[in-house]
Amino acid sequence: MIKYFVIISFIIAISKYDQIWKLRYAESVNATTVIGSSILDVPALELADVLQLLQMRKGLFIDVRNRANYNKEHIKGAYWVDTSQISAMPEGIISIIKNYDVVIIYCETNSCQSQYSAGVAFQSLGFENNYIYTGGFLEWKACGLPVESQ
């Protein structure tokens, strides 16, 4: 009996590890979540891809870091959005964002979960062309690209 308990416990542990690994792998490639019965994927882009995309299309950066960091410094032209308020954004702000071809969401670095949840929230509001910038603000600034203060 104990032997079976140990084997079952081991199988459960491996299964949980496998789920965690798949989730982390998915986050490094795309932000994926399930809302109701639909699966939403938000493509993740590296810096070179972001720069290339911005050359071809009119894009807007959305900063989902905390407000103090945004006020101190942010990517030039970026708008700050409180991730907990995305689903309740006023229609006026949504219509401004919809004037852009693409929405590029960033946080401090790739390990920040806020950018992934924001990407999914924007997609659930009908924004089909939104992307996660995986390098985040720190990479942007380290590369000497334009930043500004509030």
Instruction: Give 28-71 as a 3 state SS string.
Output: HHEEEEEECCEEEEEEEECHHHHHHHHHHCCEEEEECCCHHHHH
- 8 Å CB contact between 59 and 103: yes
Please determine, for residue 65, whether its predicted confidence score (pLDDT) is greater than 50: yes
d(CA 137, CA 70): 10
SS3 call for 104: strand
User: Which one is predicted more confidently, 26 or 80?
Assistant: 80
Cβ neighbors of 50 (< 8 A, separation 6 or more) are 104, 131, 133, 135
Domain of 129 in residue numbering reads as: 2-148
Per the structure, the count of domains in the chain is 1
Q: Is the pLDDT of residue 29 over 70?
A: no
**Higher pLDDT among residues 34 and 108, named by residue:** 108
77, with CB counted inside 10 A (0-12, 13-18, 19+), is: exposed
- Give the helix/strand (H/E) hosting 138: helix 136-142
What is the model's pLDDT at position 2?
Answer: 56
Q: Reduce the DSSP state of residue 121 to 3 states and report it.
A: helix
The residue type of 86 is: I
Backbone angles phi, psi at 146, to 5 degrees: -65, 130
Amino acid at site 149: S
pLDDT exceeds cutoff 60 at 34: no
Question: What CATH number should be reported for the domain holding residue 41?
Answer: 3.40.250.10
Q: pLDDT at residue 15 above 60?
A: no
* Triad 127, 24, 21: Cα angle to 5°: 140
pLDDT at 51 over 80: yes
Q: What is the pLDDT of residues 88-141, one digit of tens each?
A: 888 888 888 889 999 999 999 878 888 888 998 998 888 888 999 999 999 999
CB 68 within 8 A of CB 75: no
